[in-house]
Structure 1
Amino acid sequence: MPIILEKGQKIDLTKGQPGVAKLQVGLGWDPIGQSGGFLSSLFGSKPNIDCDASVIMLENDRFLNKNDLVYFGNKLSACGSIIHSGDNLTGEGSGDDETIFVELHKVPSRINRLVFVVNIYDCVNRRQDFGMIQNAYIRIQNPQTREELARYNLSENYGGKTTLVAGEMYLDGSEWKFSAVGEGTQDKNLSEIVSRYQ
């Protein structure tokens, strides 16, 4: 049974679990159906919202190197510690919409924090925000045992927000921890999100 996290809650990932070296981070969401009358019920009523998950690797809590960003356009970190599964364009279907694999023992010692964010692609032109998304979550799983270790359901109303900082993995001494952040921002693209950490 996974630990269900509340906003701001922190858990140990590696302390007391020396065998946990690789983690699978799943992010999921569903578009909210829009009521548009009889015709929209015949021809589909869910907006096509393209959410993108990314990982920002921080050195002393700062983003210092463009190679420390993993997203659909750069699916493998330079050090090989983070692998992105690729872009899900719709958020349709059950299960994780995007998956990121993290091998903690490969993360360079200079990196102390991994920030997991989700933003809406082309949100301004499409006039979309996270008020049009439901059932958003971030979960951490042991890919070897398939055991879900923790889950954070992003259940707040994020209307007007175009980016979500879902959670962070961070070093506390020599141990990795996870923090459920759940912060919505109005950043319009990945560059704006990254600039918050420069």
Structure 2
Amino acid sequence: RDLYPGPVTPTLTLTLSLTLTLTLRWTTRKALDLDASAIILGPEAEPGLRQTLDIVNFSQTQSRPDVSKRPGTDLVVHSGDNVTGEGDGDDEVIMVRLNVAAPEVSEIVFTVNVFSGGTFADCRDSYIRLRLGKNDLARFKIDADTTSEGFIFARLFREGNRWGFEAMGTQCDGLTARDPKTIAAAGGTEDPGQYNPPSPQVQPGDGGCCVVS
């Protein structure tokens, strides 16, 4: 169903199979790069702000290990950057496995930013949706009245062993989710820095190359 900023929907029961996907689709009159991101928040750091534990976006497509309680399983995974919005289907996808969220994870805030310059007023037929399995849980249409660079779509928040969902629809400044203005609008403290996964170690017999002099 289409959503507007406002009431919290009924909470979602946390189950072992609860996986959500956020999808972003846009069409523009000119080349425009929109980026969907997930800002992962932890405990309260100061009045009105929570500690920013991680940010998953086009430049960091998987969450850092310490926000997941299951080793080897990412809490959040990003599909990668689509810089034009061309083609059929969803342009960017973020997957969230709520069942592996570490105990200190309290919220996951979804944002969209216009990275290439311009605003959402340059978009048409653009939407963000949150899916549970194959079903749409929520859909938010971005209209031409949205004239900002950034947009806080919605947040998931923990309540004991359940998760709630709130549509937000807050306009903000910032070309990426790592911009301090976007982070603050999402309710977080400063960027913890980009996580770079370690490179796989080449083991003997794996085809590694050596130089003999």
Q: Which TM-score band (shorter chain)?
A: 0.7 to 0.9
Deviation at 1:7, TM superposition (A): 1.8
1:194 matches 2:183: yes
- Give the equivalent residue in structure 1 for 2:7: 9
- Give matches, 1:14-163, under 5 Å: 14-15=12-13, 18=15, 20-31=17-28, 33=29, 47-60=30-43, 61-65=49-53, 68-78=54-64, 79=68, 80-123=74-117, 128-143=118-133, 146-155=134-143, 157-159=145-147, 161-163=148-150
Q: 1:155/1:19 Cα in 2 relative to 1: closer, same or farther (>3 Å)? A: farther
- How far apart are the structure 1 equivalents of 2:17 and 2:63? 20
Q: TM-score, normalised by structure 2?
A: 0.72
CA drift at 1:87:
0.6
CA distance in 1, matches of 2:163, 2:144: 26
Q: How many residues align?
A: 172
Amino acid at match of 2:33: D
**1:126-161 CA distance string (max 9 Å, x none):** xx1111012332212233xx22222222336112x1
Q: What runs of 5+ residues in structure 2 fail to find an aligned partner?
A: 44-48, 69-73, 190-213
Shift in alpha-carbon separation, 1:172–1:134, aligned structure 2, 3 A: farther
- Post-superposition shift, 1:185? 1.3
**Structure with the largest fraction of helix:** 1
Cα distance in 2 for partners of 1:99, 1:7 equals 22
Structure 1: 4+ residue segments shifted above 3 A: 17-20
Identical residues among aligned pairs (%): 28
Superposition TM-score, scaled by structure 1 size? 0.77
Can you list the C-alpha shifts for 1:44-79, whole angstroms capped at 9, x where unaligned? xxx1101111110011352334xx110111111113
Alpha-carbon contact 1:12-1:176 (below 8 Å) kept: no
Measure the CA separation in 2 of the matches of 1:166 and 1:150: 11
Supply the RMSD in Å over aligned alpha carbons: 2.1
Pair member with larger Rg: 2
Structure 1 regions of 5+ residues with no counterpart? 34-46
Q: Aligned with 1:139: secondary structure?
A: strand
